[in-house]
Structure 1
Amino acid sequence: LTMFMLLLASATFAQNPVTGKVIGGKDKQPVPGATVTVKGSVAATQTDADGAFRINAPEKSTLVITAVGFTTQELTVGKQSNLIATLEETSTSLDEIVVTGYSAQKKKDLTGAVSVVNVDQMNKQPTASIADQMQGQAAGVTILGSGQPGEAPQFRIRGFNTFGNNSPLFVVDGVPTTNIADLNPNDISSLQVLKDAGAASIYGSRASNGVVIITTKKGKGKVKVSYNGYYGIQSPKSGNVFDVLTPQEQGDLKKLAIKNTADRSGTAPNFSDALYGNGATAVLPDYILPVGAMEGSAAVNPDLYNINPNYTSSAEYDAFYRITRANKTGTDWYHEIFKNAPIMSHDVNVAGGSEQGNYLLSFNYFNQQGTLIETYNKRYTVRANTSYNINKHIRFGENLAFSLQDNPRIAILDEGNPVSMAYRQHPIIPVRDIMGNYAGTFGPTGLGQATNPVAARERSINNKGLGSRIFGNVYGEVDLLKHFTFRSSFGGEYYSYNNRSFNYPTYENQENGQTNSYNEGMGNGYNWTWTNTVNYQQDFGDHNVKVVAGTEAFAAGGQDMSASARDYFSFDPNFTNLSTGASVNGAPGSGRYAESLYSLIGRLDYSYKGKYLVGATVRR
């Protein structure tokens, strides 16, 4: 005890009061609010308005000083009692240039809420979707999605504003768009999120859910050829994901339910069950079809087996003789539809530049096989960005991207989606019957009406979702006078798509669709935006004034059509089209749309001594 008290006293007396000051930046100004911590302990304090601090710390201990916008520094406590810590500004300092509405500003001059995403860190995530890469990269930005390959990004900036569309406006190289799903993440140079009305209002009502501003890369320096690629394996969750009972446990549970119901009503339990036997304890059958049959039963005659998966008549369907062996160990339906899947990306770009201009040419191939079987996204992207300086006052350039995509999508939220069916399907049902055709709920009662999710996915193997898109802009800039710059940009997109699918007749389910049908839809559309702005910037002593004024015209249009046919005698994908079906499956549909918008835009930013900021925006 005495020794312990001596050690405690020694430790206590070793705590020395240490004072100091934290300064930072090129001008070595005090840094208020910096956190000073004794490394390896919970002792901590913050600097006051003059950057000063006081903390108790043992001799030879280490002080860790951190502050927003500065690098972390460590100092060793010696015999001196007064320390000076000089912090260096980080690359995310307030002098960082941020692209906002129709201009660029220093971060310290912003009056709205803007998040700057670290693109290099974002691109370390191997995915084709910018939405997936942005997850967790910007405060207040939530990304929602099912994980389906090629899924359109669902951005939520500061929560949900309405029960309808909550997607933000995307602006790529100054051109507004609603689609960035085919944008190659490797082509991105900077990305900012405008989160509040002060930052986004210059874009008008289209920015009610926020704005995501994306700038693509430019070339610089000597000619450089670079390659960036990866290959990986995506793995679904392992184990009993749905926490499903075994077939024996399900049978026992059903028998227990019968007993409990009888006990409550005061009657004798009727344990009779076509699938689990007539006793109080469930006995699993060897076969589901014929219902409840055991091995050696005369009802199980493989010679009578008769199923034609590509049947075309009800009479043929009625003559089927099915034999399905029970899976007594249980079918893991989750892992029957979710498998390990490869993902790869190959990106090559050529870039360079000089005082006269710069250029960048990039090619990207991306292939993601979904962990859900028979889902994938294949994308080819080409980008060409160039800019030229005629002289020091006149500049022009273009940003152009073309993409091809093969991405058959599934309605993941529909009631009959494969994930829902895998959850509902009984584990006693195998994926296939004794002859390799699909098995399902057909036959015995009590197995529900879920469909075979493996069958649903494998029957979609020839479905296609093809799309192409060209997107970009051309622009010119002229320095008119000493403080004025005029910029004109004309950009937009043209896109087309074609979707086709074939619905096979089913035979394995409790409720079967006996009609085959083919569906096809296609469409195309365009939009263009013409923006003309004048930027004015000038300093008057301690006063700085920035003005942006201009006009913007927008127009869009498109058309689509869809049709369906049925009763095909051949299911060969090279044969099935709208003209080879025996009859029309409902009336064809078509539609078209057109819209336009013209706006006057303006913004004023005023600062006094770089500390007091006022901003005003108008758009009408």
Structure 2
Amino acid sequence: MKKKGAGSVFKTDQLSKKLLLIMKLTTLLLTVFCLHVSAHTYSQEKISLKMKTVELKKVLQAIEKSSDYRFLFDEVLVKGKPKVSVEVENADINQVLSLVLSNTGLGYQILNTNLVVLKETGSQQELKEVTVSGKVTASTGEPLAGVSVTLNNSTIGTTTNADGTYSLTVPDDAVLIFSSVGYTTTEEKVSGRPVINIVLQPATQTMNEVVVVGYGTQRKRDLTGSVSSIKGDEVSKMPATNPIASLQGKVPGLTISNTGRAGAAPVVRIRGINSTNSASPVYVVDGILHDNIDFLNPADIETIDILRDPSSIAIYGLRGANGVIAITSKKAARGQTRINLQSSVGIQTVQHKIALTDAAGFRKLYTAQLANLNAAPFDYTNYTANTNWQDLVLQDAVITTHNLSVSNNSEKTTTYLNIGYTNQEGVLKYDQFERYLVRLNEEIRISKNIKVGGDISGYHYKNNPPAASITNALWAAPIVPVQADANTYYSMPSFQRAQVGNPIAALNRNNRSSIENGFRVIGSLFAEVKFLKSFTWKSVVYTDLSFFTGRSFNRLPYRFINLGEGTAATTTTVDNSIRTSVSQEQSESRRYQQDHTLSYDKRIGNGHTINAVAGVTTIYNRSSFVNGFRRDTSVNVPDNPDFWYLGVINVNNPISNGGGGGESAIAGGFARVSYTYKGKYLLNATIRRDGSSKFAPENRWGTFGSVGAGWVVSDEDFFKNVKGIDFLKIRGAWGLTGNANGFADDLWRPGIQNASTAIFGDNIYTSIQAAYIPDPKLRWETVRGLDVGFDIRALDNRLNTEFTFYDRTTTDILTGVTLPNETRSYFTNLGKITNRGVELTAGWNDRIGKDLTYGVSANVSYNMNVVNSIGNNFNFTITGNGGVNRTNTGQSIGYFYGYTQTGIYQSTADLAKQPAFVTSLPGDIAYLDRNGDGVLNDNDRGYIGTPFPPYSYGGSLSLGYKGLDFQIEMQGAAGHSIYTQRRTSTFATLNFEANRLNAWTAPGTSNIEPIMDNTRGNNFLMSTYYLEPGDYLRIRLLQIGYTFNESALSKVGIKKARVFLSGQNVATWSRVTGYSPEPLIGSILGGGADNGAYPVPSVYSLGINVTF
């Protein structure tokens, strides 16, 4: 990490101030521009035209462009008419049309709305105007706002208001077209009717939906890769502090591991792990790149698009190698002023607790263990309690969420404001997280072709982290009582006192002893200009500022009672020399990003469509932190947060300080071209050139790109007679992306670190050493990806299926290795990893009768991860978690390495029949002789499982009947293992889990559980005995809701109201004995270890959603 002095900090601050000044000036200019809004009314206009020998339709189009008149006609009327010539100067419409239509056999009629209707001259029909009004609703009765109502074969139209109403003046024989995203387009003949009410049915196909791709959007039917889209309504159904948690089981290839800790973000992986350094995707929120989205309100999301294939992610350059999650936030809908309130309250409870022995079971097992050791029995006289420590540290916890949004959309401005509040208690006592969110979005349409705007989000959280580890409660002996009074607790028995403390004493001592406050401000400004019909220029500047402060206080210890073993109880008082201490931490990070793009969208000739974008982007990051610790040797700091500052304690007392910081930069240029011919032949190509400060100048730049192609077979003439299939597309993509995520800056040049300290006299001296061995030839990791598949819609678009095969290989993986006779790491480009898999999604949507709708969906994915090599000339083995995990050639990354249990040695005769260690005895675990040499040793260890699930799946069922709705979602994973590390301690006698009640005691008593003897080291070797199959299936969501009748609500000024009752994680089928079967995939090289992982709770919620 590059160190910077004060001078550089000053320069960066000056840059920040200049940027802030630019933002202020831009905002001022935008405000001035938006004041220049003028009204435009119809008037009698003079028309000037000069056209020679052109088609009649082109003349009519030219009149439309130069005036306020609009033409309505049947294409058949103008087709084949003689070409016309016209030259007029400042003529009125009647003069112009008389000349243009003189030899065509056509007449015209001008209606009061400046609509010109063409008709045959022989027609005696006199057209009349009629003002049509009405209301557009969904099949549920809910009014639909923003529905497009247009006159057929014309550009004349309007949109429905917030209450679904519309009004439009048209010819009395016109045909109206009603269309809206997500609904089936409906045509309706006017036939002179003044009132036309329309009910739109949900569209059963989504091929025309728009999804986010790099620096733009694209119709889903035109995609050549794999992009899954999730609506914001699906995200906000679950009360959660992080919106990504709600995607679990919805998207194939997306693996999410949640944690129940209050406010914690889930671990996310897309299509496996590509590198030993980083596997997390990048988040793109309204164009700005983020490493996390803790600032984002789930209720503030319009859509989430998961980009997985090369043609979608290559344009993001080095940041997109692990996949991209693109999020579009809500904006105000056209023609609407709306206030929305969402509120929910839920109870979190630990559904599955770890099965431990009670006092009787503990005494039975510990007595047996002492007997096996030929040790004296333990005196339980004073230990008569039966304490369930697990129940005492866990609690039913409350989570509340409240969100208020206000949106307004006038002719020239769009405003959206959202305010959110979340308060979540953890299921481990005293764990609490509180969050405040606010976001303001503003868009100003200066003219038809120019718009400007901005977005600002504020985020503040307060966190009281868990006061103690839950592991203590799992290990503490149940025979010990809790406490004698508020300040006096009972200590553990002598056989575990050094390793395990009283869990409740630790919990209470650390309760609210830490205060963490985070602040984050994200702002953006943009300007967009459309010109020459097909071009759009857009410039955006972003700022992301984060600040963190933390303070902690180490309280005085409590008094403890030692119950004694065969002796009287004694009380241990607090040592008067012990003093309180204070720690303080502060950090900040700043990110500045700017994007400038030029896009081109053009339909050429008969069926050719080109969409292109080119641009440049820069990202600058700077971060710093300081921390300190002090303890007064003479007085105690008061137990009051107002005094938890380093300055309260004299500097002459024991002190330690730390700090650091760094900066990095990325610059890049990119381009994408998408071409379609008649909507059935698709071609997509991207290129990106990135430079990163993480590499030496000669290796700093890399060029990457992708190509993709698609064929909509169902649009071919030969496919027209195929029954049952409505849409069929075959697609494929290949791409090359770079990766520089997950490793430190400046590894290509020397760095220093503290080595050791020494005391000479009254002074302390610190030595430094090289932190690592630099490699100036470090270069990008390179990811090559292939993605092929097909999309099918069948049976009147009720059935939809998507299938994808992918193959992705990362080379030049940056790896830290230790060379012979060296203690420092040497970072260089070594290694190759391949992820190969398939993804399948299927869904069915239909209705029964008029009122009952239903939908069924399912998805499944498989990913195979293989480390092809680590080094070209020799292969390293990378270990994790003390050697439990390994990464080497020929296996999956971070796999479990150890012995395979074959049973329990039942007798000495049994020992003689099969391979065993020299020290093995009856009752010990029997292991597989992997190499068949008749001897058990280190060579018999090998692959015994993976912490990363190769299979993942999900499914859902939804029902709707009038105002009622019901939904159930399920998800799961298979093929992975969980390492029960919490059971492996050999240094103390901990509380036993219930499985040990089946321990071997004599021949034939058990062939799984070894003897009760914590001195037999062979039973503590890493083996399949400590692994559990992680396969599981879970009911992720169960929800029932009711939407109230609109007519009843309108009487009290409410547009829409829905109440719901939901349950999350309500049932799980699994053989995992821990709190949750979800894969523990946070660590790449040492994943899968359950050492008392935080419980993932069930959540039962009641909520309401009201729109005014």
Secondary structure of residue in 1 paired with 2:233: helix
1:525-573 superposed Cα distances (whole Å, 9 cap, x missing partner): 2111110001112223232221110111111112110000113514422
Tell me the distance in 1 between the aligned counterparts of 2:683 and 2:507: 58
Counterpart of 2:263?
Answer: 150
Instruction: Calculate the aligned-residue CA RMSD, in Å.
Output: 2.5
Tell me the distance in 2 between the aligned counterparts of 1:544 and 1:438: 79
CA contact (8 A) 1:468 1:497 kept: yes
1:523 aligns to 2:587 (yes or no): yes
Tell me the distance in 2 between the aligned counterparts of 1:393 and 1:189: 25
Counterpart of 1:377?
Answer: 433
Tell me the distance in 1 between the aligned counterparts of 2:377 and 2:663: 65
Tell me the distance in 2 between the aligned counterparts of 1:551 and 1:575: 50
Secondary structure of residue in 2 paired with 1:418: coil
Tell me the distance in 2 between the aligned counterparts of 1:259 and 1:561: 54
| Of 607-616 and 106-115, the range deviating more from structure 2 | 607-616
Structure 2 counterpart of 1:600, one-letter code: G
Residues 602 and 439 of structure 1: CA distance in aligned 2, closer, same or farther (over 3 Å): same
1:254 aligns to 2:305 (yes or no): no
Tell me the distance in 2 between the aligned counterparts of 1:152 and 1:438: 37
Aligned pair partner of 2:278 in 165, 174, 190: 165
Structure 1 counterpart of 2:320, one-letter code: A
Question: How many Å apart are 1:89 and its aligned residue?
Answer: 7.9
Residues 555 and 584 of structure 1: CA distance in aligned 2, closer, same or farther (over 3 Å): farther
CA contact (8 A) 2:608 2:676 kept: yes
| Of 564-573 and 142-151, the range deviating more from structure 2 | 564-573
CA contact (8 A) 1:122 1:137 kept: no
1:232 aligns to 2:346 (yes or no): yes
Counterpart of 2:661?
Answer: 592
Aligned pair partner of 1:444 in 484, 494, 498: 494
1:407-455 superposed Cα distances (whole Å, 9 cap, x missing partner): 23359xxxxx6121111111112232x2233535455335662123333
Structure 2 counterpart of 1:366, one-letter code: T
1:130-167 superposed Cα distances (whole Å, 9 cap, x missing partner): 12222222221122232111113321111222333221
Structure 2 counterpart of 1:579, one-letter code: G
Counterpart of 2:503?
Answer: 453
Tell me the distance in 1 between the aligned counterparts of 2:525 and 2:466: 36
Give TM-score, length-normalised by structure 2.
Answer: 0.41
1:338-397 superposed Cα distances (whole Å, 9 cap, x missing partner): 101111111111111133221111111111111111111111111111111111110111
1:214 aligns to 2:327 (yes or no): yes
Residues 258 and 460 of structure 1: CA distance in aligned 2, closer, same or farther (over 3 Å): closer
Question: How many Å apart are 1:109 and its aligned residue?
Answer: 0.9
Secondary structure of residue in 2 paired with 1:362: strand
Aligned pair partner of 1:390 in 443, 446, 449: 446
Secondary structure of residue in 2 paired with 1:200: helix
Question: How many Å apart are 1:223 and its aligned residue?
Answer: 2.0
Tell me the distance in 2 between the aligned counterparts of 1:372 and 1:438: 22
Tell me the distance in 1 between the aligned counterparts of 2:587 and 2:496: 45
Counterpart of 2:597?
Answer: 533
1:601 aligns to 2:670 (yes or no): yes
Tell me the distance in 1 between the aligned counterparts of 2:238 and 2:627: 37
1:575 aligns to 2:643 (yes or no): yes
Tell me the distance in 1 between the aligned counterparts of 2:292 and 2:466: 19
1:275-310 superposed Cα distances (whole Å, 9 cap, x missing partner): 33xxxxxxxx2x35xxxxxxxxxxxxxxxxxxxxxx
Question: How many Å apart are 1:505 and its aligned residue?
Answer: 4.1
CA contact (8 A) 1:426 1:447 kept: no
Structure 2 counterpart of 1:364, one-letter code: G
Question: How many Å apart are 1:90 and its aligned residue?
Answer: 3.1
Residues 205 and 135 of structure 1: CA distance in aligned 2, closer, same or farther (over 3 Å): same
Structure 2 counterpart of 1:618, one-letter code: I
Aligned pair partner of 2:390 in 329, 334, 339: 334
- Pairs within 5 Å for 1:17-416: 90=203, 93-220=206-333, 221-237=335-351, 241-262=353-374, 270-273=375-378, 275-276=379-380, 285=381, 287-288=382-383, 326-327=384-385, 330-410=386-466
CA contact (8 A) 2:476 2:492 kept: no
Counterpart of 1:469?
Answer: 520
CA contact (8 A) 2:429 2:466 kept: no
Secondary structure of residue in 2 paired with 1:335: helix
CA contact (8 A) 1:382 1:401 kept: yes
Give TM-score, length-normalised by structure 1.
Answer: 0.72
Secondary structure of residue in 2 paired with 1:487: strand
CA contact (8 A) 2:337 2:409 kept: yes
Counterpart of 2:694?
Answer: none
Secondary structure of residue in 1 paired with 2:505: helix
Tell me the distance in 1 between the aligned counterparts of 2:501 and 2:373: 29
Secondary structure of residue in 1 paired with 2:524: strand
Question: How many Å apart are 1:503 and its aligned residue?
Answer: 2.1
Counterpart of 1:544?
Answer: 609
Question: How many Å apart are 1:107 and its aligned residue?
Answer: 0.4
Question: How many Å apart are 1:91 and its aligned residue?
Answer: 5.7
In structure 1, list runs of 5 or more residues that go unmatched: 1-68, 72-87, 263-269, 277-284, 289-325, 412-416
Tell me the distance in 2 between the aligned counterparts of 1:490 and 1:455: 52
Residues 131 and 179 of structure 1: CA distance in aligned 2, closer, same or farther (over 3 Å): same
Residues 601 and 612 of structure 1: CA distance in aligned 2, closer, same or farther (over 3 Å): same
1:21-58 superposed Cα distances (whole Å, 9 cap, x missing partner): xxxxxxxxxxxxxxxxxxxxxxxxxxxxxxxxxxxxxx
Residues 147 and 584 of structure 1: CA distance in aligned 2, closer, same or farther (over 3 Å): farther
Tell me the distance in 1 between the aligned counterparts of 2:593 and 2:246: 28
Tell me the distance in 1 between the aligned counterparts of 2:488 and 2:247: 41
Tell me the distance in 2 between the aligned counterparts of 1:468 and 1:361: 19
Counterpart of 1:298?
Answer: none
Tell me the distance in 2 between the aligned counterparts of 1:525 and 1:509: 48
Tell me the distance in 1 between the aligned counterparts of 2:281 and 2:477: 42
Secondary structure of residue in 1 paired with 2:648: coil
Tell me the distance in 2 between the aligned counterparts of 1:70 and 1:367: 37
CA contact (8 A) 1:182 1:379 kept: no
Structure 2 counterpart of 1:577, one-letter code: Y
In structure 2, list runs of 5 or more residues that go unmatched: 1-181, 185-200, 563-571, 690-1108
1:201-253 superposed Cα distances (whole Å, 9 cap, x missing partner): 11111111111111111112232222111112111226xx2211121222122
Residues 441 and 331 of structure 1: CA distance in aligned 2, closer, same or farther (over 3 Å): same
| Of 479-488 and 437-446, the range deviating more from structure 2 | 437-446
Residues 585 and 131 of structure 1: CA distance in aligned 2, closer, same or farther (over 3 Å): farther
Tell me the distance in 2 between the aligned counterparts of 1:139 and 1:516: 52
Tell me the distance in 1 between the aligned counterparts of 2:452 and 2:505: 55
Question: How many Å apart are 1:92 and its aligned residue?
Answer: 5.0
Counterpart of 1:323?
Answer: none
Secondary structure of residue in 1 paired with 2:474: helix
Tell me the distance in 2 between the aligned counterparts of 1:397 and 1:615: 30
Question: How many Å apart are 1:586 and its aligned residue?
Answer: 4.4
Tell me the distance in 2 between the aligned counterparts of 1:165 and 1:70: 41
Residues 225 and 131 of structure 1: CA distance in aligned 2, closer, same or farther (over 3 Å): same
Residues 443 and 571 of structure 1: CA distance in aligned 2, closer, same or farther (over 3 Å): farther
CA contact (8 A) 2:428 2:466 kept: no
